[in-house]
Amino acid sequence: MFSKFKSVLSLYVIGCSLLLPLSSAQSAVFNPESFTLDNGLEVVVISNHRAPIVTQMLWYKVGAADEDVGESGNAHFLEHLMFKGTKRFKSGEFSALIAKNGGQENAFTSWDYTAYHQTVAKDRLEMVMELEADRMTGLILDDEKVLPEREVVREERRSRVGNSPGAQLGEVMRASQFLNHPYRIPIIGWDHEIEALNTETALAFYRKWYAPNNAVLVISGDVTVDEIKPLAEKYYGVIPSKEIPERIRIAEPPQNAARRVIKESHLVTNPSVTIRYLAPSYRTAGNNDPYALQVLDEIIGSGATSKLYKKLVIEEKLAASVGTSYSPNAYDQSTFALYISPRPGVEIDEAEKHLRQEISDLIKRGVSQDEVDRAIARMVDAAVFARDSLAAAPNVIGRAITTGGSVEDVEAWPERIGAVTSEQINNLMEKVFIDNQSVTGVLLPAKRVE
């Protein structure tokens, strides 16, 4: 629900509102159409007539980083509770109706947004729009529903984090990376604070943030904007707007020292080292730097053709796996990570030493314009295939808008990524790969006790 992964979708999650959007004639990614209802709900429609299927995604501009102090996990907890029923539909009826009509549905929470989605046959779209609109303001909760679900969430945390040394290390790394900003807190929450969540905290969060003027409705599939507009007006347009508080995020202080976190566990069979650096997101950068970091990510750490893989896995035979990870789709600061897992027989210290040497060599030697051009070509080629996916467009557009971007930013992605140069990347590496702005996480098997 809240794990990180690299995918074609990450190439598109655009959010730099300071860049000038392309005109509609130049738009070339998903070619969406959009409108805004009188109550403030933003609606985006992406026509995809390959099959008589439709995906509806409703995104709320609120996530774990917007929770009140001491109520970590409340956003994710409410996501669970949104399936517990309204005056019109009893608990569980939402999911039962969708399943009965051959559809699929789910939801997910991040630090910056919460999203609910359904995929159904085109002739069932009106049904899911009615269901989703109903629970936007009609949710009914009581202790009988809430308290058992709280234990479900606690069990989810135990299974995802309590039994995973890597997840435990990741939590402490993030808490070390962000000293003050709420990104330091796990999306699922700390267990002792989840235990204190209740009906009142969930309803307060719901009433504070869930409203049409704090949401984005994205519909993709065998539909047109002319078909969607009257349905959106009928089901969502009648919901009154409300005053939404400003998203106040505590600023992160300057970081002046490298941090190191070590986790040992008997459950670890493959040791690893991860180095994370603070990096700009689309919204915080205010320039083209996030696009340059995406291209750098592609060049040095994406797959078997990347520079790190060829050097440390194939040539030097030190690593079983190596790579990088960067996602610019954060409302606030992001991170750029590099990781390595050594081959059996190679000490973890030796693997880390070589990874750091590669980082140093990258900064000194840089990347060539030919490498940049080839990476951009691969990224743009991969992007073309995303248009065929029913889920790609609503995921990309929803993430963009909820993190400060726009439809125009999404559509401008090919041109902006194509403007990246080797000089820009080489200058940027010196600004991002700074030891004092990094956290190193080491995952090790537990030492045997003689």
Q: Which residues are catalytic?
A: 79
Apex 128 CA angle, 35 and 403, nearest 5 = 45
Alpha helices in 286-330 (DSSP H): 289-301, 307-308
Half-sphere exposure of 178 (CA within 13 A, CB side): 19
Distances (CA, A) of 339 to 45, 134, 319, 431: 38, 45, 10, 19
- Report the alpha-carbon distance of residue 297 to residue 351 in Å, rounded: 20
Residue 99 structure tokens: 């399943």
Q: 232: phi > 0 → left, psi -120 to 50 → alpha, else beta; which?
A: alpha
The alpha carbon of residue 2 and the mean position of all alpha carbons in its chain are separated, in whole angstroms, by: 8
CA angle 416, 421, 426 (to 5 degrees): 125
What token pair was written down for 352?
């880390």
168 CB burial (10 A radius; 0-12, 13-18, 19+): middle
7-43 burial by CB neighbour count: b if 16+ within 10 A, else e? eebbbbbbbbeebebbeeeebbbbebbbeebebbbbb
Q: Are the C-beta atoms of residues 268 and 397 closer than 8 Å to each other?
A: no
Using DSSP bridges, classify how beta strands 319-326 and 259-265 pair: parallel, antiparallel or unpaired: unpaired
Q: In this structure, which amino acid lies at residue 225?
A: V
DSSP letters for 252-276: PPP--S-EEEEEEETT-SS-EEEEE
Cβ atoms of 113 and 230 within 8 Å: the answer is: no
Measure the CA–CA gap between 259 and 316, rounded to whole angstroms.
28
Q: To the nearest 10°, the Cα dihedral for 437, 366, 282, 114? A: -70
- The rounded distance, in Å, linking the Cα atoms of 301 and 367 is 13
Judge contact between 111 and 188, C-beta under 8 A.
no
Do 333 and 280 form a contact (C-beta atoms < 8 A)? yes
CA angle 425, 426, 427 (to 5 degrees): 90
